[in-house]
């Protein structure tokens, strides 16, 4: 009897090990195994994933995990595209965009064109918790941050100044102007509107995908509560005042505890026109698998901008997750991070672009 029990126990252990191995080796594009809680974030920003997961393991809330996870990328200046000292605009200044969303209450806090304050995601949370507004922008957002106790700091670094200087020496190429004089493809301006405008097709494919590497994060707690957030310093050499998709609810990210969460990364000027994060969550609400939901969102944008750079991550309230990206030269796979009870540690996953 004891031998039989031991044999059964051994079989059970083997089944558990086999199941975990299957999960670990599963392609990211396949229907993912479901377990809660789950943390998913764009790109291979491992430290951000570890930080967010650690917050949950210590009993922190889903919002805490999003704030700390995205905040870790701001501290680490992830890929130069998040936080201070990166992506100088065409005046040489670094500005920040961020948002955070509570999927239980549908409250959102966001900041855009934030100047002189490093902790953009934390300022966004203060907008949600201490005002009746959703989005604050520019110098006024910075003044609000200071009133909330954040230090006023220079976001410029020697590295960002060097990037700006090199851009000036290359006749300000590339830039985001079109249909202006002098010819924006050959000079730095200043530009103005010509008397007679000849519209040219936008050459989306000429933009480097390294210009748009937002961190987007979705956290779903053990009870199914969803939170999401983003943080970025935007498109390098952008026109001052430009705001992309990252701080816009439904574009940069979206969270709804009755369905799931999603976040987007890429060319925000294109992607924000389609509200991809909102659309992905609505697909999941209808029962669509997260991977398929992400793919459907990418396919919709492809119809209008086939050469756009972008990716979307999705997770539903069961803990199932997925991702999708648009295939263009130089960008054929998308790397993202997943943390789950089914994984021994935050794990980098890869999906082939469509």
Q: So which residues are the catalytic ones? A: 214
Of 108, 81, 75, 76, nearest to 95 (Cα)? 81
- Euclidean distance between CA atoms 300 and 29, whole angstroms: 18
268 appears as a binding residue in the annotation:
yes
Residue 330, annotated as binding a ligand: no
316-334 burial by CB neighbour count: b if 16+ within 10 A, else e? bbbbbbbbbbbebeebeeb
CB 105 within 8 A of CB 252: no
Nearest Cα neighbor of 94 from 187, 159, 140 is 159
- Tell whether residue 66 is among the known ligand binding residues: no
- Dihedral sign, CA of 268, 272, 276, 282? positive
Q: Is residue 265 a known part of a binding site?
A: yes
Tell me: is residue 157 an annotated ligand-binding position. no
CB count within 10 Å of CB 130 equals 12
Sheet holding 38-42, edge to edge: 135-137, 108-114, 96-102, 226-232, 215-220, 38-42, 333-339, 347-352
The reply, when asked if residue 242 is annotated as ligand binding, is yes
Ligand-binding site membership of 244 (annotated): yes
DSSP string for 278-342 = HHHHHHHHTT--HHHHHHHHHHHHHTT-TT--EEEEEEETTS-EEEEE--BTTB-EEEEEEE-TT
Q: Is 243 among the annotated ligand-binding positions?
A: yes
- Known binding-site residues equal 242-245, 265-268
- Known binding-site residues for substrate equal 242-245, 265-268
């Amino acid at each position: 009897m004891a031998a039989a029990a031991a044999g059964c126990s051994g079989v059970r252990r083997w089944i558990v090990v086999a199941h975990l191995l299957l999960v670990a080796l599963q392609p990211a594009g396949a229907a993912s195994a479901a377990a809660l809680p789950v943390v998913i974030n764009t790109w291979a920003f491992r430290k951000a994933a570890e930080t967010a997961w650690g917050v949950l393991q210590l009993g922190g809330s889903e919002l805490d995990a999003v704030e700390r996870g995205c905040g870790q990328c701001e501290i680490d200046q992830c890929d130069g595209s998040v936080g201070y000292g990166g992506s100088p605009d065409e005046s040489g200044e670094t500005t920040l965009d961020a948002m955070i969303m509570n999927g239980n209450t549908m409250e959102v806090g966001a900041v855009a064109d934030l100047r002189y304050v490093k902790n953009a995601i934390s300022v966004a949370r203060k907008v949600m918790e201490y005002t009746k507004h959703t989005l604050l922008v520019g110098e006024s957002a910075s003044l609000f941050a200071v009133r909330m106790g954040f230090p006023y700091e220079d976001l410029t670094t020697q590295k960002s100044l060097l990037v700006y200087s090199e851009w000036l020496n290359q006749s300000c190429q590339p830039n985001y102007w079109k249909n202006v004089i002098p010819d924006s493809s050959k000079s730095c301006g200043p530009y103005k509107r010509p008397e007679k405008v000849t519209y040219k097709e936008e050459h989306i494919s000429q933009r480097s995908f390294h210009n748009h590497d937002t961190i987007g994060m979705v956290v779903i707690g053990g009870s199914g509560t969803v939170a999401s957030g983003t943080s970025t310093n935007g498109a390098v050499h952008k026109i001052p005042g430009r705001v992309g998709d990252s701080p816009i609810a439904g574009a940069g990210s979206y969270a709804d505890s009755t369905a799931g969460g999603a976040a987007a990364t890429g060319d925000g000027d294109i992607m924000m026109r389609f509200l991809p994060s909102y659309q992905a969550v609505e697909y999941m609400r209808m029962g669509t698998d997260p991977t398929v939901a992400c793919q459907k969102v990418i396919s919709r944008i492809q119809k209008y901008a086939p050469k756009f750079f972008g990716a979307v991550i999705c997770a539903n309230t069961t803990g199932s997750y997925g991702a999708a990206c648009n295939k263009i030269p130089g960008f054929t796979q998308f790397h993202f991070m997943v943390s789950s009870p089914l994984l021994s540690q935050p794990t980098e996953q890869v999906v082939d672009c469509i």
